[in-house]
A and B are shown apart, each in its own frame.
Chain A
């Protein structure tokens, strides 16, 4: 296999593993937990390294995954005191653990190969250098196999506990009534997030882990309402993004992780703007139509209410009408143009009068509201 292909395959595996878990994270409003975990695993790495004096020990992954779970636990302890909101709790725990990690590194591990930059920024280009040798044969990059194992674990977890995950995610109260332990699901999920982040950090860096865990699932969330579809779509979008991002990075000779993260962001923005049902354009247009429709009704109701009363001259005067409705003058002009075009209202000098058509429409609209 060529190194390029190995890098792409690794990126695809990482993105799939992250997307699987990311879907549940963003649905459970825990997106920023990935940010926290991907930073605090640095402390896990440092502590495990200082204890074992080796950067390749399997203890490193275990210790680091534990640190991820500890982050979740500490956040929850702080939250449970009810002295602060959850986001504040996250924002206090992870910088503290991260700071301790940096202090430990600069103090005790300064001359060892434990580069903070490489942890955070990652370098996919280095993936092919670290080979896995089995029985004297080179079978491929080590991190590819590590990530493949993690992807399998994540996949098995999601398939085995799909029902539980779904229930706990959408209706935690019902889940606990039915006897499912949401705590078990919660900590298993966060444990896997930690393991995945640890496995991925060396290959792709924590920024790309965050991007992979949040970006594709959020993009998929814009497109579908079904959990299964969302999982499939996230994985698909993640893979496409990884491939495009890698190609761009190769073309421009820039950071692969950065390039993929950028492509993920751009993909989301495009989907966010143009998505058929929930895109910004669709939603903006729907809201606009609704606003105009509501304003037309308000104006017609107003005219109808004052029709034939003493105050009609004051209330239905074009120059002062916007005061009565608390509208902007320009907005009134737009709406007036609309109702005159629809032939609901006629204007004589400064006074507005309902046409018979307008009167019928108003009564019908009124009945629609009250019925």
Chain B
């Protein structure tokens, strides 16, 4: 299929739109989860949605998306509630509680699904799709539901922006000025659960957590402002959703959910490496520059101190004297640094390879001793 005909493909448009909406929502809410160090909550919630789905199907006997999602929502919320309660009333760590509830609810879901399969004339095929997700089976109606829920979530985030911000960074302060931590937690957790439930259909239980975490982590690297981070996370989510969908329809035998996850993971890796200020490359350059500055300053100071101990302050000294700890291995680097200092005019080198401080070198050394190396 050529790209042009592909872009006009109706199914693709629907699926891509759905993935984009999902990416945006999970990016926004994931930002808060990442900041609150509750990244893996999404994993637990998406697993705990399974018994709800199976239970609703068991009672109604039909596969109505809205009803199934409602069931998923109920059991997802119950799972979250249990995790919070366990965390509050015992010394059990948050992650243990997550793993426990995750396996408990998922096991219960399996029991229900295998029970349904044994029932006569039950059309249960497709319930498993919620485990792995089937983005390509998204219908127009499903996408409409996603958009409506997405708008509700967006509205909530805008309305409770101040509260969510407080909750993410300094809830103790928030409580002291009269906000209720419990209420904010319930609201934020609920809409996060809604977002996760929306995602189940397209990417499934296991990969939903990646969609929640990765955009937030990637966005965090580029900014220190919450608003920028949330918008950036939404953009990353949309980009990976659309690119993932397009790739999976261009290449045969490519499952959509996993491709989306790979794309967003690449965005994370790129951000970790190249983000300005926080990125690994940036930090490396900064560290190199710092250590060079420190080395230059130290050598200049050493030479200055030597000079002060001589009657003739311009008396030249050997490299070994300037850096007494130097070995044959390090002496080359030290001479390199000394050459840089000479270029800047702080020291001079004579015919015998020995070094003497200059007038501006003395001035600079004095300033370093007074203010530290940074000011230069």
Name A residues whose Cβ lies closer than 8 Å to a Cβ of B: 26, 29-32, 34-35, 39, 78, 81, 83-85, 87-88, 90-92, 95-96, 98-100, 102-103, 106-107, 110, 116-117, 120-121, 207-208, 210-211, 213-215, 218, 221-222, 249, 252-255, 257-262, 264-266, 268-269, 272, 278, 280, 283-284
Chain B residue at minimal CB-CB distance from A39: B206
B261 near A95: Cβ-Cβ < 8 Å: yes
A221 near B107: Cβ-Cβ < 8 Å: no
Q: Is the interface of B mostly helix, strand, loop or mixed?
A: helix
Chain B residue at minimal CB-CB distance from A104: B258
A214 near B206: Cβ-Cβ < 8 Å: no
Q: Residue B104 contacts which of A103, A110, A116, A262 (CB distance < 8 angstroms)?
A: A262
Residues of A within 8 A of B128 (CB): 117
A252 near B115: Cβ-Cβ < 8 Å: yes
A265 near B265: Cβ-Cβ < 8 Å: no
Residues of B within 8 A of A103 (CB): 254-255, 258-259, 262
Complex: how many Å from CA A99 to CA B266? 12
B100 near A215: Cβ-Cβ < 8 Å: yes
Complex: how many Å from CA A252 to CA B254? 38
Residues of B within 8 A of A221 (CB): 91-92, 96
B168 at the interface (CB under 8 A from A): no
Complex: how many Å from CA A261 to CA B106? 8
Complex: how many Å from CA A95 to CA B212? 11
Range class of the B interface residue count = 35 or more
B365 at the interface (CB under 8 A from A): no
Complex: how many Å from CA A103 to CA B213? 21
Q: List 29 A-B contacts (CB under 8 A).
A: A26-B93, A29-B96, A30-B95, A31-B96, A31-B99, A32-B95, A87-B40, A88-B37, A90-B39, A90-B40, A91-B42, A91-B213, A99-B259, A102-B257, A117-B128, A207-B103, A218-B97, A221-B92, A252-B111, A254-B115, A257-B110, A258-B107, A258-B109, A261-B108, A262-B108, A266-B104, A278-B90, A280-B85, A283-B90
Q: With A222-B90, A253-B118, A283-B90 as known contacts, state yes or no: A96 contacts B107, CB within 8 Å.
A: no
B233 at the interface (CB under 8 A from A): no
Q: Residue B110 contacts which of A29, A85, A98, A255 (CB distance < 8 angstroms)?
A: A255
B89 at the interface (CB under 8 A from A): yes
Q: With A211-B103, A262-B108 as known contacts, state yes or no: A96 contacts B262, CB within 8 Å.
A: yes
Residues of A within 8 A of B255 (CB): 102-103, 106
Residues of A within 8 A of B111 (CB): 249, 252, 254-255, 258-259, 262
Q: Residue A98 contacts which of B37, B101, B207 (CB distance < 8 angstroms)?
A: B207
Q: With A32-B99, A103-B259, A254-B111 as known contacts, state yes or no: A83 contacts B89, CB within 8 Å.
A: no
Chain A residue at minimal CB-CB distance from B104: A265
